Amino acid sequence: MIIADPRPLLAHQCVRFEDGLSLDCGVELRELTVAYRTYGRLNRDRTNAVLVCHALTGDQYVAETHPLTGKPGWWDAVVGPGKPVDTERFFVIAANVLGGCMGSTGPLSIRDDQRPESGRTLPWGTDFPPVTIRDMVRAQKRLIERLGIARLFSVLGGSMGGMQVLEWAALYPDCVFSAVPIAAAAYHTAQNIAFHEVGRQAIFADPDWEGGRYWEHGKVPARGLAVARMAAHITYLSEQALTRKFGRRLRSGPSLTLFDDLFEVESYLRHQGSTFVSRFDANSYLSITRAMDFFDLAAEHGGDLAHAFAGSRTRFCVISFSSDWLFPTAQSRAIARALNRAAANVSFVEVESDKGHDAFLLDEPAFHRTLSGFLSGSAAAAGL
Amino acid sequence: MNAEPHLTAPNGIRYVAKNLRLDLRLIAGMIAPDSRVLDIGCGDGTLIAHLARERGCDARGIEIDMAEVAEAVARGLAVMHGDADIDLAHYPDQAFDYVVLSRTLQAVERPREVLRQMLRIGAHAVVSFPNFGHWRVRWQLFSRGRMPLTPTWDRPWYETPNIHPCTIRDFFALCAVEGYRVESWLAADQAGMRAPWRRASRLANLFGEQGVFVLQRTPNVRKDRPA
């Protein structure tokens, strides 16, 4: 047997669905696994569940030490006891997305379409069928059902997580009491797709990618994946944030060499790239970036985003950040206006921040106050 | 259902109404309980908080000042950042029972269009505005020949946001031109106390510091009907 995943073997908490999942691309996954984590306690009426959707490179380890990196959970600032998403009040669920690499079905999973006579159990790799944001949401819905929850009090997430939030509200409106798409968009723009394509090409260009079958050779396309991460990371930060953190400072003295001395920002990006490689699978990166690129919620509803939310009784809170140029405020405003056209209950706030797209992950008190207030107001309306 | 602790003070006394600005209380009194309300220029959401909690309304707001929006949403209110001149166009017809515009009409770019939009998206429009016909305004302009500065019109002409001042009689005239039915109206002083001359518009126009109107769109008059 070929070990597809060079990372330390981890036993992720997960549920398996033997009846599989029908994907938007027409392929039937024969078996579906959803890895997940929960925080807090489900109340007796099962009405206090909050689903947190993660972004491109996030995972289900939202509010606890990450088992691979040893670092705090990616939304530790937001989810936890007494925090905006208060785990003393809410039962928080987070699932690894379909196509991910932290235990849910994805390119690292053993493929389920092999003939038994082949005698080998191979991972999907690049043959993993293309998945969509809607497929990810359908997989999450299966998990929620398995947990015995009929309606989520709230679905929230940033960036690609926000795309899932919008898809949840459109696909299962009666299962979502409140929805918080943060730093998100209803479709991926040409610019968004372009940046992703740079990342994908960096992976393809790495000889260690081996046409997507790097696991057969005991390799990982570390350089390509790292460059993809570096390019993407620039889009997550604002120019002000980079200037504030690094300016034009060199790591050593102000000497002029071609490559020996590093600008601090170079060193930072290299670090981001190299640490990413140790926790993420390249084919997963390809699969998920593609899912984001395919996303266009209005197109799924006859070209009018308002149709996606027609008759919705969900309470929405759309949040953007002023310095986010990857998912700019204009995108969030377009969502808010579509919700207005659907006569939905919507709050819309642009949080003043110089931290760029990543602001939703960082310590941003104004954002936390907004989120916390919206959830409290919604909890009152829900009778929680 | 459990009582919501933040809706009432620990001693059980509802405190929202007490803190409500007097002119907002005047407007709140014109809105039927349990109705759907949109407050344009809602500030920190004081009026919609009151309507939601005291009158059971589904009350939402639009506000152009982002700091106020953040404040309102952090209080759990359904408020969105938006501009009355632009964003009303995105609401569907008759989505609300009442659309409120409190002391903002004189500051929008296109007051006539804003009123049209209000009565398109709502069954009733509740509009309050400072009255430029007040005697103090008239006297200052007459006696000094300079733009008036009063407690209501308190910013010099070159930095006032109030780019479309009007009088109570002007507003009646606009309603007539647009075919709006004035369901009720009153004049009030700056603090929002009702003035006694609410039946005589000429007196109200002289002594009222602000006008508060409830409008309805009249059904389209059929053109084939004989005059």
pLDDT tier at A2, thresholds 50, 70, 90 = low
Cα–Cα distance measured from residue A366 to residue A349, given in angstroms and rounded to the nearest whole number = 10
Are both A86 and A220 inside the same structural domain? no
Sort residue A372 into left (φ over 0), alpha (ψ -120 to 50) or beta.
Answer: alpha
Measured between CB atoms, does A337 come within 8 Å of chain B? yes
* Whether A324 is catalytic: yes
- Number of neighbouring beta carbons within 10 Å of residue B155: 11
Judge whether residue A115 has pLDDT over 90: no
Q: Are residues A336 and A275 in the same domain?
A: no
Tokens of A194: 């372009």
Residue A5 covered by a domain: no
Same domain, yes or no, for A104 and A140?
yes
Judged against a pLDDT cut of 50, whether residue A176 lies above it is answered with yes
Q: What are phi and psi of A234, to 5 degrees?
A: -60, -35
Show the low-confidence residues of chain B (pLDDT under 50).
1-17, 221-227
Q: Among B81, B86, B91, which would you mutate to test the A interface (most chain A Cβ atoms within 10 Å of its Cβ)?
A: B81
Q: Is residue B54 part of a domain?
A: yes
- State mean pLDDT over A350-368: 96
Are A377 and B76 within 8 A, CB to CB? Answer: yes
pLDDT of A379 > 80? The answer is yes
| Nearest Cα residue in chain A from B122 | A343
Residue A117 and residue A23 share a domain: yes
Task: Choose among A317, A348, A383: nearest Cβ to B1.
Answer: A383
For A376, the closest chain B residue by CA position comes to B76
* Contact check, Cβ <8 Å, B73/A380: no
Residue A252 confidence class, pLDDT cut points 50, 70, 90? confident
B contact test, residue of A335, A348, A372 with most B CBs within 10 A: A348
A352 and A271 assigned to the same domain = no
Contacts of A315 in chain B (CB under 8 A): 78
How many domains in chain B?
1
- The verdict on residue B11 lying in a domain is no
Domain containing B21: what range? 16-217
Is A8 contained in some domain? no
pLDDT of residue A98: 98
Q: Which of A252, A267, A289 is the last residue of a domain?
A: A289
The nearest alpha carbon in chain A to B74 belongs to A373
User: In b/e form, how buried is each residue of B92-124, taking b as 16+ CB within 10 angstroms?
Assistant: eeebbbbbbbbbbbbbbeebeebbbbbbbbbeb
CATH number for the domain that contains residue A242: 1.10.1740.110
DSSP annotation string for chain B: -PPPTTTS-TTS---HHHHS-HHHHHHHTTS-TT-EEEEET-TTSHHHHHHHHHS--EEEEEES-HHHHHHHHHTT-EEEE--HHHHGGGSPTT-EEEEEEES-GGGSS-HHHHHHHHHHHEEEEEEEEEBTTSHHHHHHHHHH-S----SSS-S-TTT-S--S-B-HHHHHHHHHHHTEEEEEEEEE-TT-PBPTT-S-HHHHHHH-SEEEEEEEEPPPPPTTS--
ipTM of the complex: 0.86
**Can A353 be counted among the known catalytic residues?**
no
CATH code where residue B49 lies: 3.40.50.150
Query: Do A29 and A133 sit in the same domain of this protein?
Result: yes
Residues A152 and A241 in one domain: no
Give the residue from chain A lying closest to B7, CA to CA.
A380
Q: Would you say residue A4 lies in a domain?
A: no
Residue of chain B whose alpha carbon sits nearest to that of A375:
B76
pTM value?
Answer: 0.91
Residue B69 with chain A: CB contacts under 8 Å: 348-349
Q: What is the pLDDT of residue A3?
A: 60
**Which residues of chain A from 342 to 361 reach within 8 Å of chain B, CB to CB?**
342-343, 345-352
Tell me which of A154, A159, A284, A353 is the catalytic residue: A159
Q: Give A28-45 pLDDT, tens digit per residue.
A: 999 999 999 999 999 999
Average pLDDT over residues A345-373: 96
Same domain? A126 vs A21 = yes
CA A133/CA A56 separation, integer angstroms: 11
In A, which residues are within 8 Å of B60 by CB distance? 345-346
User: B74 touching A, CB under 8 A?
Assistant: yes
Using an 8 Å CB-CB cutoff, list chain A residues near B80. Answer: 318, 336, 340, 346-349
Is B66 close to A352, i.e. CB distance below 8 A? Answer: yes
A8 or B186, greater pLDDT: B186
Q: Do A374 and B66 touch (CB under 8 A)?
A: no
Q: Does A317 touch chain B (CB under 8 A)?
A: yes
Contact residues on chain B for A346, CB-CB shorter than 8 A: 60, 78, 80
A334 touches chain B (CB under 8 A): no
Residues contacting A131, CB < 8 A, separation 6+: A23, A24, A25, A98, A99, A287, A291
**Would you call A374 an interface residue with chain B, using a CB distance cutoff of 8 Å?**
yes
Instruction: Say yes or no to pLDDT of A365 above 60.
Output: yes
Give the nearest chain A residue to B45 (CA atoms). Answer: A347
Q: Which of A5-14, A39-48, A359-368 is the least confident region? A: A5-14
Confidence of residue A191 (pLDDT cuts 50, 70, 90): very high
Q: Are A209 and A92 found together in one domain? A: no
Count interface pairs A-B at CB distance under 8 A.
73
Q: Check if A373 contacts B (Cβ < 8 Å).
A: yes
Question: Tell me, what's the pLDDT at B17?
Answer: 46
Q: What is the total count of domains within chain A?
A: 2
CATH number of residue A373's parent domain = 3.40.50.1820
Catalytic residue among A59, A86, A206, A324: A324
* Confidence at residue B141, expressed as pLDDT on a 0 to 100 scale: 94
Cβ–Cβ gap B73/A351 under 8 Å: no
**Segment A230-251, tens digit of pLDDT:** 999 999 999 999 999 999 988 8
Q: Is the pLDDT of residue A209 over 80?
A: yes
Closest CA to A284 of A86, A113, A124, A94: A124
Contact B73 A370 (CB under 8 A): yes
Please state the length of chain B.
227
Task: Kindly state whether residues A99 and A243 are assigned to the same domain.
Answer: no
The nearest CA of chain A is from the CA of B74 a distance in Å of 4
Indicate if A293 belongs to the active site.
Answer: no
> Is A3 a member of any domain?
no
Look at residue B10 and tell me if it is in a domain: no
Residues A115 and A215 in one domain: no
Co-location of A277 and A322 in the same domain = no
Structural domain harbouring A372? 14-188+297-382
Residue A175 within a domain: yes
